[in-house]
């Protein structure tokens, strides 16, 4: 019965999303399409952190790797004079996005193989440093990566020719990605992930190769983060260091924690509302507060205030809170 209700809710929300562009201004359609791609980033982080309990604070590394991989594949002239100058053709956009995910997964394998033997907060601390390293590489090799300003991949490499077209393609990529991740965590593989989260030592005693399954979760998480990053580049036509940076990482964490860790659905809910709050209606609220009360305030303050309120009244996240009320 619960599964039927869940499917019905998903179908209704999907139908609503499909008709939404008919009733919104183009600027809002563009923003919501970008929100769909952000949801992939939040859900992919949840796969690692919410289901295995391993806190990865360097998730934006894979977002950025996927983004720059796709961008450089579409602008191979930027690779001239490097060891990758043999790349000379622009692949189809879908292939470019998939390759972005695969390269991110490859980097994830290398990082995970080295770091996932660390336990406790050591893994989190090591991964927290990684985005800073990759951001510096953008500045050092600015001829290739475009430096602080990034670079454009050209209008011809957009997800679609129109804003509405890009919206629907972004929705399709998000829907397929989230469904795949949901099926993976609901499978026997997901049971092993949850065993690691609940008690790693007991899981080892039961014969589960904890390092192996943490690495598998890390690969899944990094692959879809790369998919999200590559799709974002093709959506907005630019690659930049903002896809590596700490504010994006904090927004991903905030979205997933507010929505509910270890749920997938919660990450979708949190990702949708937090990203729109950050980039849409929260700015209007702040402008009005500043004009009326002359209070120096910004969106980060309000977002983290929301996090504190959620932590107090709904410590397991919005999704679990809604679920409990429905069951009552």
Least confident of 43-47, 105-109, 278-282: 278-282
Distance CA 272, CA 288 (A): 23
State the chain's mean pLDDT as an integer: 87
Residue-wise pLDDT for 170-192, tens only, equals 999 999 999 999 999 999 998 99
Q: Is residue 282 very low, low, confident or very high in pLDDT (cuts 50, 70, 90)?
A: confident
Is pLDDT at 133 greater than 70 in this prediction?
yes
Q: Is residue 295 very low, low, confident or very high in pLDDT (cuts 50, 70, 90)?
A: low
Domain residue limits, the chain: 25-257
Query: Percentage of the chain surpassing pLDDT 70?
Result: 91
What are the distances in angstroms from CA 274 to CA 90, 152, 223?
A: 35, 27, 23
Give the pLDDT score at 36. 96
Give the pLDDT score at 319. 77
Backbone angles phi, psi at 56, to 5 degrees: -100, 110
Give the pLDDT score at 78. 84
End-to-end Cα distance, the chain: 15
Q: For 151-168, what is the mean pLDDT?
A: 91
Least confident of 73-82, 152-161, 236-245, 252-261: 73-82
Give the pLDDT score at 187. 92
Give the pLDDT score at 197. 86
Give the pLDDT score at 83. 64
Give the pLDDT score at 58. 92
Q: For 77-99, what is the mean pLDDT?
A: 81
Is pLDDT at 198 greater than 90 in this prediction?
no
What are the distances in angstroms from CA 232 to CA 14, 72, 321?
A: 20, 14, 31
CA dihedral 183, 186, 188, 189 (to 10 degrees): 70
Q: For 50-69, what is the mean pLDDT?
A: 93
Is pLDDT at 124 greater than 80 in this prediction?
yes
What are the distances in angstroms from CA 200 to CA 15, 190, 206?
A: 41, 14, 10
Is pLDDT at 88 greater than 70 in this prediction?
no
Question: With helix as H, strand as E and coil as C, how does the chain read?
Answer: CHHHHHHHHHHHHHHHHHHHHHCCCHHHHHHHHHHHHHHHHHHHHHHHHHHHCCCCCCCHHHHHHHHHHHHHHHCHHHHCCCCCCCCCCCCCHHHHHHHHHHHHHHHHHHHHHHHCCCCCHHHHHHHHHHHHHHHHHHHHCHHHHCHHHCEECCHHHCCCCCHHHHHHHHHHHHHHHHHHHHHHHHCHHHHHHHHHHHCHHHHHHCCCCHHHHHHHHHHHHHHHHHHHHHHHHHHHCEECHHHCCHHHHHHHHHHHHHHCCCCCHHHHHHHHHHHHHHHHHHHHHHHHHHHHHCCCCCHHHHHHHHHHHHHHHCCCCHHHHHHHHHHC
Least confident of 100-104, 160-164, 302-306: 302-306
- For the chain, how long is the longest CA-to-CA vector? 65
Provide the token pair at 24: 């919104």
Is pLDDT at 107 greater than 80 in this prediction?
yes
Least confident of 37-46, 201-210, 213-222, 228-237: 201-210
Residue with tokens 């749920």: 263
Least confident of 56-70, 71-85, 107-121, 175-189: 71-85
Q: Which residues pair with 239 in a beta bridge?
A: 151
Residues with Cβ < 8 Å from 18, sequence gap 6 or more? 168, 171
Backbone angles phi, psi at 152, to 5 degrees: -95, 145
- Evaluate whether 116 touches 126 at the Cβ level (below 8 Å): no
Q: For 237-263, what is the mean pLDDT?
A: 90
Q: For 36-47, what is the mean pLDDT?
A: 96
Question: Within 13 Å, how many C-alpha atoms sit on residue 326's CB side?
Answer: 9
Distance CA 55, CA 46 (A): 10
Distance CA 317, CA 297 (A): 25
| Stronger pLDDT, 3 or 109, i.e. the higher one | 109
| Stronger pLDDT, 86 or 178, i.e. the higher one | 178
Query: Percentage of the chain surpassing pLDDT 90?
Result: 45
């Amino acid at each position: 019965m619960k599964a039927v209700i869940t499917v019905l809710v998903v179908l209704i929300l999907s139908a609503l999303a499909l008709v939404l562009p008919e009733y919104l201004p183009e600027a809002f359609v563009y923003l919501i399409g970008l929100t769909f791609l952000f949801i992939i980033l939040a859900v992919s982080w949840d796969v690692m952190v919410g289901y295995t309990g391993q806190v990865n604070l360097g998730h934006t590394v894979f977002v950025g790797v996927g983004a720059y991989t796709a961008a450089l594949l579409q602008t191979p002239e930027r690779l001239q004079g490097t060891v990758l100058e043999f790349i000379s053709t622009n692949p189809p956009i879908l292939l470019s996005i998939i390759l972005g995910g695969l390269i991110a997964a490859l980097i994830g394998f290398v990082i995970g193989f080295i770091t996932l033997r660390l336990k406790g907060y050591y893994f989190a601390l090591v991964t927290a440093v990684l985005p800073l390293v990759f951001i510096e590489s953008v500045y050092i090799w600015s001829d290739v990566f475009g430096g602080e300003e990034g670079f454009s991949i050209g209008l011809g490499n957009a997800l679609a020719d129109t804003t509405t077209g890009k919206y629907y393609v972004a929705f399709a990529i998000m829907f397929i990605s989230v469904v795949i991740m949901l099926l993976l965590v609901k499978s026997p593989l997901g049971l092993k992930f949850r065993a690691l989260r609940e008690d790693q030592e007991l899981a080892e005693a039961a014969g589960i190769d904890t390092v192996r399954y943490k690495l598998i979760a890390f690969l899944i998480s990094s692959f879809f983060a790369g998919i999200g990053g590559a799709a974002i580049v093709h959506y907005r036509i630019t690659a930049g260091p903002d896809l590596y940076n700490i504010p994006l990482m904090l927004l991903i964490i905030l979205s997933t924690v507010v929505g509910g860790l270890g749920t997938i659905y919660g990450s979708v809910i949190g990702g949708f509302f937090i990203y729109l709050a950050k980039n849409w209606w929260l700015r209007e609220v702040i402008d009005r507060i500043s004009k009326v009360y002359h209070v120096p305030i910004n969106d980060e303050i309000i977002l983290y205030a929301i996090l504190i309120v959620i932590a107090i009244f709904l410590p397991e996240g919005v999704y679990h809170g809604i679920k409990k009320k429905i069951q009552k």
